[in-house]
Structure 1
């Protein structure tokens, strides 16, 4: 039998006192609140299922002051959550690597995992079986399922998002400043959207499913979720929306001028203002800030000549004092996502129903665009059967439907 060329670098296992563990001074990974909340929810619901990794650093290549000083190699976020939750110990796998080996593992371990592709049939079936007890975890799982991936077909075209290839500069002298200020009389200085540059939603609009889904598409217009493969899409019939993980469109906030230029150069009909997440349990200041960002980007797009649909978002009644600020009354259309609640949890259902009712009462929009899960679509139909609304399924639902038609799901 041929011997394996892989060396086993694991030198032991055990339980380590959380208070005694030192983070790695060369750890480069940053963990946003959304990731921390989802991991905390997973650990709370399921428990510990994976060891942290600690490097013992006993080799001669380690300099004085570092040799023999054990440092975390993998599991930094779990360690921080354990400290917050006053967890006494964590299960640990010990390795003993030299400085160059440790640096290589730190640099490559997480990115290598992120390179894995997706078998959509298996993922969709797995998602169907999940029961997340936390809204943070449920939102995280929803976003995993919505990430556009090629269906497992041998000749699938993994072409990606063609919008990102559109030029982010305009010909001639036309330019935009990325740092604009908009005078406002709204709470916390939340910018006011211009009533004269609100978008009237095109008739017959449907969700763009992505090139990789290979569906026959011939609707008069489409809502394009940012990041969806769209090489075959006629942009002049599309409205851009941002109903995906916040991290995927953070560049819109950092470089609004470049995104506005792309929208203009592509000839898009308009855009839905970005949907920055408002999570239950977050500090109210975060909710105010993300509402401000959504309205600021929307107003920025308008000043660039782009017609906008206001996005309306809230977490609970505590947000009502500011979450509708800056949206003109009787707008041609507002947009609401209804996909991040559990229909078997009365409190979450009530939060959604009350928020929609409050938005309709305060804003009195002429039409509402809903981006909704199956449970969300049922909820809207039950409570507002006569509402002038366009109700679009989520990307995840469209992909599940195709898999069912192909016999991949029951």
Structure 2
């Protein structure tokens, strides 16, 4: 598989000069906005925004709307991509959902939580919520494991293989006519 590198360059751009993408479908609730402010205050920028250059030279955001909104006066790192509008739409649609498909290594997550000490109350709350969700998943799995298997009643059945649908219908009508409970199944 040939994979193209679509990154043209890294630029530092004042966030307020970036053009928000009108097709951005992600919304940012207050808790997320507060947590973003918290991590930017405690760590700073550790990831670049994604943008594409418009015909007039301005940069349109593909990913990083919340970071740009949170720090409008800051010079922010922007990866300028060589993508057209159709490709931009594909990235907008899949960038965050692909990340969300990742699964959790609960032991590794627990270790990270133990190692991390946040000062920002929104980040503390976010990590506490993450830890509570992890605990709830563990409790749910334990509850399922403790639930007894439902009894499966003994059933005596006969499977008749037919050469075609017409013969299947004939066999069904015959067995049903003999007062046996039956059904038609096609595999």
Relative to the length of structure 2, the TM-score reads 0.71
1: CA distance, partners of 2:143 / 2:71: 41
2: CA distance, partners of 1:115 / 1:91: 26
2: CA distance, partners of 1:50 / 1:73: 14
* 1:149 Cα deviation from its structure 2 partner: 8.4
Name 2:43's counterpart in structure 1: 46
1:116 aligns with 2:102: yes
1: CA distance, partners of 2:7 / 2:126: 32
Which runs of no fewer than 5 residues in structure 1 stay unpaired? Answer: 59-66, 151-159, 161-207, 217-231, 234-410
1: CA distance, partners of 2:29 / 2:40: 17
* 1:145 Cα deviation from its structure 2 partner: 2.2
1: CA distance, partners of 2:57 / 2:126: 39
Verify the 8 A CA contact 1:57 1:96 in the aligned structure 2. Answer: no
2: CA distance, partners of 1:52 / 1:34: 21
Alpha-carbon distance change, 117 to 213 in structure 1, aligned in 2, over 3 angstroms: farther
- The 3-state SS of whatever aligns with 1:78 is helix
Q: In angstroms, what is the RMSD of aligned CA positions?
A: 2.5
Q: Which moved further from structure 2: 68-77 or 33-42?
A: 68-77
Once the two structures are superposed, the pairs formed by residues 196-207 of structure 1 within 5 Å of their partners are: none
- The 3-state SS of whatever aligns with 2:20 is coil
2: CA distance, partners of 1:57 / 1:103: 14
2: CA distance, partners of 1:50 / 1:18: 14
* 1:56 Cα deviation from its structure 2 partner: 1.2
Once the two structures are superposed, the pairs formed by residues 4-403 of structure 1 within 5 Å of their partners are: 5-58=2-55, 68-83=57-72, 87-148=73-134, 209-212=139-142, 232=147
Verify the 8 A CA contact 2:16 2:68 in the aligned structure 1. Answer: no
Verify the 8 A CA contact 1:13 1:93 in the aligned structure 2. Answer: yes
- The 3-state SS of whatever aligns with 2:76 is strand
Alpha-carbon distance change, 68 to 135 in structure 1, aligned in 2, over 3 angstroms: same
- The 3-state SS of whatever aligns with 2:139 is coil
2: CA distance, partners of 1:143 / 1:9: 36
2: CA distance, partners of 1:149 / 1:27: 33
Which runs of no fewer than 5 residues in structure 2 stay unpaired? Answer: 149-187
Alpha-carbon distance change, 111 to 212 in structure 1, aligned in 2, over 3 angstroms: farther
* 1:19 Cα deviation from its structure 2 partner: 2.5
- The 3-state SS of whatever aligns with 1:16 is strand
Answer 1 or 2: which has greater helix percent.
2
2: CA distance, partners of 1:98 / 1:212: 49
Name 2:163's counterpart in structure 1: none
Deviations 1:217-266 (A, max 9, x none): xxxxxxxxxxxxxxx49xxxxxxxxxxxxxxxxxxxxxxxxxxxxxxxxx
Verify the 8 A CA contact 1:18 1:89 in the aligned structure 2. Answer: yes
Verify the 8 A CA contact 1:117 1:149 in the aligned structure 2. Answer: no
2: CA distance, partners of 1:68 / 1:14: 13
* 1:215 Cα deviation from its structure 2 partner: 7.1
Between the two structures, name the one with larger relative contact order (CA 8 Å, sep ≥ 6).
2
2: CA distance, partners of 1:49 / 1:78: 11
Verify the 8 A CA contact 1:148 1:210 in the aligned structure 2. Answer: no
2: CA distance, partners of 1:149 / 1:73: 34
Name 2:164's counterpart in structure 1: none
- The 3-state SS of whatever aligns with 1:123 is helix
- The 3-state SS of whatever aligns with 2:13 is strand
